Structure 1
Amino acid sequence: MKLSYNILVFGNEPVEKSIARLSRFGYDAVEFVGEPELYDPAEVRSLLAKYGIRAGSICNIWKKDRDFTSANPEIRENAKRYTKSTIDMAERIGAEVVIVAPTANMRITRELPPEEEWKYAVEGIRECGEYALPRGVTLVLEPWNRFETYLINRLEQAIRLAQDINLPNVKIMGDLFHMNIEESSIPEAIRKARGWLVHMHVADNQRDLPGKGHLNWPEIFSALKDIQFSGYLVLEYIPPHADPYFAFREKVDE
């Protein structure tokens, strides 16, 4: 297991400040926000080298005009263009993983028959996966809870989508916040995802630090150990309920 941190939670602070903080506290990698225009790839590579830390992953942002399953073909095409742009970003800064969702965030109702939306998700993400393959980038499908999407809510559904896409570089990820809502048993869901689960977002049930909520962390880590999980554990503590700076062992000078 490798430890990373999603710098989305730091808001608009300068990227060097975020990278320096994570390096100082021993993180292995950084998860960057999937908005390529926010970063200069050469500057990011230079900062990563300066502070001795890796680019682990890109957390894509699924706005309403980035939706593989939309009834609007222009929106479906834009989802592919956007994903390819973040794959390019990953290649340029040396990130291994790009997070993908088949629908826009907060779209909880269908626009098309289920089989048609599934077909569009498979075809669109497969095209992006084929684009990512020669660039050394893995796409991971992220299930969200039912209040944010309807298409894939559980790891088993993400696995089925990845199986239908059928590419060696399309896998799945888990987010413990969403899993706490949707999975009957988080440890059992993890164990059943052996061979597919390669990336994790980590926070307690209310997106605060582990131990501040009710998740059973020994059981979760036992399950990850059982499947020989070797990907990134990406800490993702979301304000305003959680303080993302509290995760660090000393006061951050602002």
Structure 2
Amino acid sequence: MRLSVQEQLLPGRSLQEKFVFAVDAGFDAIELRGKGDFHFAGRLPELRQALADGVVMPTVCVDMSHFIGDFDAAKREDAVRQLRSQLTVIGELGGTGVMTPASWGQFSRRLPPFEPPRSSREDGEVLAEALGALGEHAARQGVLIMLEPLNRYENHMVNSLAQAVELCSMDSIRVAGDTYHMNIEEDDPCRSLMDAAPFLAHMQISESNRNQPGTGHLDWAAQLATLDAIGYDGDLALECRLRGEPEIVLPQTAAFIRKFL
């Protein structure tokens, strides 16, 4: 398993500077953020130079204002266009792929008005259509589109690994787990990882409190041992808030996680 860290957590003015810090701190790679309005494609000259300079950038985490499960058709179509572009860019860089949730912050069944304006069946149809188009494009680029389940307070459509697996209709559509969301949604995180193993392509890691690993109550020994047992060989990407200064806590976090690898 390779240990990576999201770019916004790293000090440094350039990806090259960030990567030097990341490696010194005990990480192997940088996870990029994919902003909307084709901002990510606009970074291609920067990303090409970073790649030439040896920066390892295997994955992209989408960072947009709307997503493939939006209630608005125009916003869904735009999200698909943005993700197609991001898949093309990460493909050119020789990366693994791009991850996205079904949506974020759009609706929760746990908050008023409790009933979304679209049925569960319609949700599934919308997601299947978007993921089908993205899966075909990802396959042509030699990369993956990875669906990330979010917790029930941030998304009402895909909350568990099992729900995400149901939408993996082709080999280029895979699942990205997140230990923070799993802590809320999975009855048994280790069992869920085992069940999702054939479809699990990426893991994001953060604590039960959304801070860096080691500051909460997650059973890291058990979950990382489970990933090892199922033969998971993807990335562990640090996506969290930092409790403390990055120069201090990032090396501590890398050392903490590596104790279990």
TM-score, structure 1 normalization: 0.87
* Equivalent residue in structure 2 for 1:60, among 48, 59, 62: 62
Distance apart, 1:205 and its partner CA: 1.0
- Distance in 2, matches of 1:243 and 1:167, equals 42
Match of 1:175 in 2: 178
- Distance in 2, matches of 1:89 and 1:215, equals 34
- Distance in 2, matches of 1:184 and 1:84, equals 34
Q: Is the 8 A contact 1:237 1:243 kept in 2?
A: no
Greater mean alpha carbon deviation, residues 220-229 or residues 10-19:
10-19
Q: Equivalent pairs: percent with the same residue? A: 27
Match of 1:149 in 2: 155
Change beyond 3 A, Cα 1:222–1:23: closer
What is the DSSP-based 3-state SS (H/G/I as helix, E as strand, rest coil) of the residue aligned with 1:161? coil
Change beyond 3 A, Cα 1:183–1:105: same
What is the DSSP-based 3-state SS (H/G/I as helix, E as strand, rest coil) of the residue aligned with 2:58? strand
Match of 2:144 in 1: 138
Distance apart, 1:12 and its partner CA: 9.1
Change beyond 3 A, Cα 1:76–1:209: closer
- Distance in 1, matches of 2:4 and 2:57, equals 9
Greater mean alpha carbon deviation, residues 41-50 or residues 166-175:
41-50
Match of 1:90 in 2: 90
Q: Is the 8 A contact 1:42 1:93 kept in 2?
A: no
The residue correspondences of 1:28-67 to structure 2 (distance < 5 A) are: 28-35=28-35, 36-37=38-39, 40-50=43-53, 52-63=54-65, 66-67=66-67
Aligned residues: 242
TM-score, structure 2 normalization: 0.85
- For residues 215-240 of structure 1, the C-alpha deviation after alignment (integer angstroms, 9 at most, x for no partner) is 1111111111111000000012314x
Greater mean alpha carbon deviation, residues 197-206 or residues 27-36:
27-36
User: Does 1:225 find its partner at 2:228?
Assistant: yes
Greater mean alpha carbon deviation, residues 153-162 or residues 66-75:
66-75
**Unaligned 5+ residue runs, structure 2?**
110-115, 253-261
Letter in 2 for 1:131: H
Q: Is the 8 A contact 1:208 1:242 kept in 2?
A: no
Letter in 1 for 2:156: Y
Letter in 1 for 2:161: L
Change beyond 3 A, Cα 1:9–1:26: closer
